[in-house]
A and B are shown apart, each in its own frame.
Chain A
Amino acid sequence: SQKIEQNSEALNIQEGKTATLTCNYTNYSPAYLQWYRQDPGRGPVFLLLIRENEKEKRKERLKVTFDTTLKQSLFHITASQPADSATYLCAPPSGGYQKVTFGTGTKLQVIP
């Protein structure tokens, strides 16, 4: 069955450094992958979508890569800020009607 894995342990980094979060998937080949941010007590918010024919996608300080050979997507936040502290979820598609399957997320803490 399809499986999505994100680092379950929290990631603590110093302000100003680059945070790198990992999303691995097995037993299928998604045509695209979405990344969301979730703050405590709030619903997830869409950040970026990367397609399988795109190696890299950027949006301001965010960068996402998609390696279909490794079956892995990396999510980078450069020049991290305490306001970037949140849980980040990856979500490949899981059938029609825009359905996706969410990973369990990685909690990022940026330390001032």
Chain B
Amino acid sequence: DAGITQSPRHKVTETGTPVTLRCHQTENHRYMYWYRQDPGHGLRLIHYSYGVKDTDKGEVSDGYSVSRSKTEDFLLTLESATSSQTSVYFCAISESQDNQPQHFGDGTRLSIL
């Protein structure tokens, strides 16, 4: 299994609080991604990174920000959590050569009350 660790694995918090999720990889892969997965919607890309300090928005980026200060770490921040952001969040990594697959962490289950 690819060396990807997501933390925390579970979190319950209140509306309006800031939340940061961490993705740590030991594979030295260049690309990293944050997804959310909701029933009926499948996996949707929130933000991605194509190198240290290089990030861009995905299809559902509103309300989220990311940072990547080191190759191995990709942080996802909800500045002011809302109940609509209750979801399961997955981090993925990929090598930069053409047609490489993504390798996923085991997810963070986030509940916002």
Contacts and interface: CB of A to CB of B under 8 A. Distances in A.
Contact of B45 (A49, A89, A99): A99
Contacts of A46: 101-103
Interface stretch (B11-19, B64-72, B76-84, B88-96): B88-96
Given A99-B48, A102-B42, A45 B99 contact: no
Contacts of A10: none
Most central of B95, B99, B103, B106 by chain A CB within 10 Å: B99
Contacts of A45: 104
Contact of B94 (A89, A98, A103): A98
Interface residues of A, number: 23
Contact of B107 (A34, A42, A94, A103): A42
Contacts of A102: 35, 42-44
Interface in B22-36: 31, 33, 35
A104 B106 contact: no
20 contacts: A31-B99, A32-B99, A41-B107, A42-B107, A45-B104, A46-B101, A46-B102, A51-B99, A89-B42, A97-B50, A97-B94, A98-B31, A98-B95, A98-B96, A98-B102, A99-B33, A99-B58, A101-B45, A104-B41, A105-B42
Interface of A: 31-32, 34, 36, 41-46, 49, 51, 89, 94, 97-105
